[in-house]
């Protein structure tokens, strides 16, 4: 279909008219770029302009759509309706738009992503005046499903979602990414050794680290979700030497949220009363949910929950194995709550941490103040000024109970690291994992 058939002229006030109404004025001319299996170049400047309304603030905004004069077939980097670009100069004039944030997501056709992408597009992380681009990474096996995801994003008419592109080559999809959410990973199948999983998934994260190093924004923030996420994050950062190691996170926010929920349940308070929750170590069954430093209604947990046996035994184990308990009910691993926790993890980095509180994230240990071995990715308490960066919290108490548990999860991560030495540039891999090395979902 010829692009010139596209005709849309309108401007309106968002306060009075929804974006659904706005968008319905577009003649839909997407030529369904389904046959384009790769993205490979950026939109070119040669355009002619038409106007559509794309307001996201209460101010009246006229955004100018740039209509490509070239055949859309030659513009495979965007998906469908997202190929209709807009004139940044016009936007600058309105002073209503912020610079686009590029978010790359791997495993984008998977279950977690199916929740996450729609939350991102709705503005949950970056706010109601921040346009975003989603760059979705799939594979040969998932490409058709990925198109389905992109079609649903189109049909959702999110005013903040300006660009969607899909592809199977991380060197293309990660181009200029400001954030990268690495979710895609092979799930551990029946009878599969954890060492094999570390190797298979490790290779994925080594390749993706190299791609990020080559093409992403030099200050890209990377959140690794695909398991085993701590060691995958380590592999990724080792393969991306030009990106600060500090920018890589392994997702342990779901564990933090699970721990807060259990403390709230036991104390009989709503979960917003639980703060200062640290998850130490690995996103596995050796993780340490820290009830020593956590607070309920501002008080140390031990002053509110007097049942020490429950705290030391039941609480810890419930949190460690919550993923497995969920799998037994659902028949698949946590997806919606994982997506929520990814949003929480991102928001914690772009919003100043409330005074006196902190959040948990699996981060690179070099320079940590707790005596944890260097050169691994370990969940620790962090605070952020809201600039995307974070600092480790210094004023935490570590008693003998906590120290012993931290040592155990540290030993597990050091063993995992040896298994992937061939992928981190540390020589020959020697894999001798402790018996109890399991994902939260394996029990």
Ligand X SMILES: NC(=O)C1=CN([C@@H]2O[C@H](COP(=O)(O)OP(=O)(O)OC[C@H]3O[C@@H](n4cnc5c(N)ncnc54)[C@H](OP(=O)(O)O)[C@@H]3O)[C@@H](O)[C@H]2O)C=CC1
Ligand Y SMILES: O=C([O-])CC(=O)C(=O)O
Residues that bind ligand Y (CB under 6 A): 227, 254, 323, 333-334, 439-442
Q: 242: alpha, beta or left, given left = phi > 0 and alpha = psi -120 to 50? A: alpha
Give the alpha-carbon dihedral of 226, 228, 231, 234, to 10 degrees.
Answer: 10
CB of residue 188 vs ligand X: minimum separation in angstroms?
A: 8
Of the residues 262, 278, 282, 333, which one makes contact with ligand X according to CB under 6 A:
333
Q: Please list the residues that pair with 210 across neighbouring strands.
A: none
CB of residue 32 vs ligand Y: minimum separation in angstroms?
A: 34
281 binds, among ligand Y, ligand X, none (CB under 5 to 8 A by kind): none
**What are the strands of the beta sheet with 47-52, ordered from one edge?**
47-52, 63-68, 85-86
CB of residue 85 vs ligand Y: minimum separation in angstroms?
A: 38
CB of residue 109 vs ligand X: minimum separation in angstroms?
A: 5
**What are the strands of the beta sheet with 179-182, ordered from one edge?**
161-167, 132-137, 101-106, 179-182, 221-224, 248-250, 359-364, 377-383, 391-392
- Per-residue contact string for residues 78-117; x = within reach of ligand X by CB under 6 A: -----------------------------x-xxxx-----
Is 186 a residue that touches ligand X (CB under 6 A)?
Answer: yes
CB of residue 390 vs ligand X: minimum separation in angstroms?
A: 18
Q: Given the complex with ligand X, which of 138 and 202 has the nearer CB atom?
A: 138
| Residues numbered 213-232 forming contacts with ligand X, rule: CB under 6 A | 225-227, 229
Q: Given the complex with ligand X, which of 107 and 159 has the nearer CB atom?
A: 107
Interatomic CA distance for residues 381 and 393, integer angstroms: 6
Interatomic CA distance for residues 360 and 248, integer angstroms: 13
Tokens representing 381 are 């308490």
Q: Given the complex with ligand X, which of 116 and 406 has the nearer CB atom?
A: 116
What is the DSSP secondary-structure string of 32-77? Answer: -GGG------PPPS-EEEEEE----SSSEE-EEEEEESS-GGG-TT
How many residues sit in the footprint of ligand X (CB under 6 A)? 26
> Known catalytic residue: 283?
yes
Q: Given the complex with ligand Y, which of 109 and 225 has the nearer CB atom?
A: 225
In contact, 95 and 127? CB cutoff 8 Å: no
Q: Given the complex with ligand X, which of 61 and 185 has the nearer CB atom?
A: 185
Catalytic residues: 283
* Site residues for ligand X per CB under 6 A: 107, 109-112, 138-139, 141-142, 183-187, 204, 225-227, 229, 251, 254, 283, 333-335, 338
């Amino acid at each position: 279909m010829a692009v010139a058939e596209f005709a849309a002229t309108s401007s309106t006030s968002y306060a009075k008219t929804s974006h659904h109404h706005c968008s319905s004025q577009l003649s839909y001319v997407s030529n369904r770029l389904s046959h384009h299996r790769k993205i490979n170049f950026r939109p070119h400047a040669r355009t002619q302009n038409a106007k559509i309304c794309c307001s996201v603030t209460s101010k009246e905004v006229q955004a100018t759509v740039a209509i490509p004069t070239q055949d859309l077939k030659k513009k495979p980097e965007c998906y469908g309706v997202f190929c209709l670009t807009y004139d940044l100069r016009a936007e600058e004039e309105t002073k209503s738009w912020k610079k686009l944030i590029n978010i790359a997501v791997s495993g984008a056709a998977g279950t977690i992503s199916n929740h996450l992408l729609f939350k991102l597009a709705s503005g949950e992380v970056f706010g109601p005046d921040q346009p975003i681009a989603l760059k979705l990474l799939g594979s040969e096996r998932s490409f058709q499903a990925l198109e389905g995801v992109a079609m649903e994003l189109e049909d959702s008419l999110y005013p903040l979602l300006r660009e969607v592109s899909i592809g199977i080559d991380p060197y293309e999809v990660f181009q200029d990414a400001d954030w990268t959410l690495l979710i895609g990973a092979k799930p551990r199948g029946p009878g599969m050794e954890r060492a094999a999983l570390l190797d298979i998934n490790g290779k994925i994260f080594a390749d993706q680290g190299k791609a990020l190093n080559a093409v992403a924004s030099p200050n890209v923030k990377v959140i690794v979700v695909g398991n085993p996420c701590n060691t995958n994050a380590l592999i990724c950062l080792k393969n991306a030497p030009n990106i600060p190691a500090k920018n890589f996170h392994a997702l342990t926010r779901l564990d933090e949220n699970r721990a807060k929920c259990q403390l709230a349940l036991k104390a009989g308070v709503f979960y917003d009363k639980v703060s200062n929750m640290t998850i130490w170590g690995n996103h596995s069954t050796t993780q340490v949910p820290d009830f020593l430093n956590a607070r309920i209604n501002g008080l140390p947990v031990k002053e509110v929950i007097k049942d020490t046996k429950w705290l030391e035994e039941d609480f810890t184990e419930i949190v460690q194995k919550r993923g497995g308990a969920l799998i037994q009910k659902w028949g698949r691993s946590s997806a919606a709550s994982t997506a929520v926790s990814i949003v929480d993890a991102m928001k914690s980095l772009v919003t100043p941490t409330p005074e006196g509180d902190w959040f948990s994230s699996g981060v690179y240990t070099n320079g940590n103040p707790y005596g944890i071995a260097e050169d691994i990715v370990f969940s620790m308490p962090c605070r952020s000024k809201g600039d995307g960066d974070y600092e480790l919290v210094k004023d935490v108490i570590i008693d003998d109970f906590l120290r012993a548990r931290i040592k155990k999860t540290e030993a597990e991560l050091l063993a995992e690291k040896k298994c992937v030495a061939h992928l981190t540039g540390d020589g020959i891999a020697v894999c001798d994992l402790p018996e109890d090395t399991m994902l939260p979902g394996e029990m």
